Amino acid sequence: MLVLGLLLMAGAAAFAGLLIAYNLSGGPDYTVTLLGSEPFTISTLGAFLGGIALTLIFGLGMWMLLAGTALARHRGKKRRRERETARQATAERDALADRLEGRGSSTTAAEEPAGQRRPASHRPQWLRPHGHH
């Protein structure tokens, strides 16, 4: 969208500049000369409406340029937040893996997640979790 807006702005500005440069003679009906050819004749009202149309096209291009810039900035912030979240999750995963392998500080039963606790040997069989006999 950013490039398209820039192209629209440049095209409208170039077209308006060429029309002005090649048509400085004046008169009630203007024969438009553009790049060595005379594609059409235009009245004063037609020239006025053509100027309004070119201004609207230029404005649309400017709007698309600004919207594309704002969208790119928003996406960049979102990506930065996602990368930071991923870094934090990786650090937490690595710390937990170190704890499970015994490389980190000693853990007690209260620090271990509930799903990772080993059944105590003094519990009766019917109190032990299934699959851990």
| Spatial contact of 119 and 132, defined as CB atoms under 8 Å apart | yes
At 103, the amino acid letter reads: R
Question: In this predicted structure, what is the pLDDT of residue 32?
Answer: 75
**Residue 97 CB contacts under 8 Å (≥ 6 apart), including other chains:** none
pLDDT of residue 76: 83
Q: Return the pLDDT at 18.
A: 80
Could you write out the DSSP letters of every residue in 10-46? HHHHHHHHHHHHH--S--SEEEEEETTEEEEEEEHHH
pLDDT at res. 25:
64
Per-residue pLDDT of the chain (133 residues; tens, 9 = 90+): 778 888 888 888 888 778 777 766 656 777 777 788 878 788 777 777 788 888 889 888 889 888 888 888 888 888 888 888 999 999 899 888 888 888 655 545 455 555 555 555 555 566 656 655 5
Tell which residue, 60, 51, 74, has the closest CA to residue 1.
60
| pLDDT at position 113 | 56
pLDDT at 29: 76
Task: For residue 21, give the nearest of 8, 34, 37 by alpha carbon.
Answer: 34
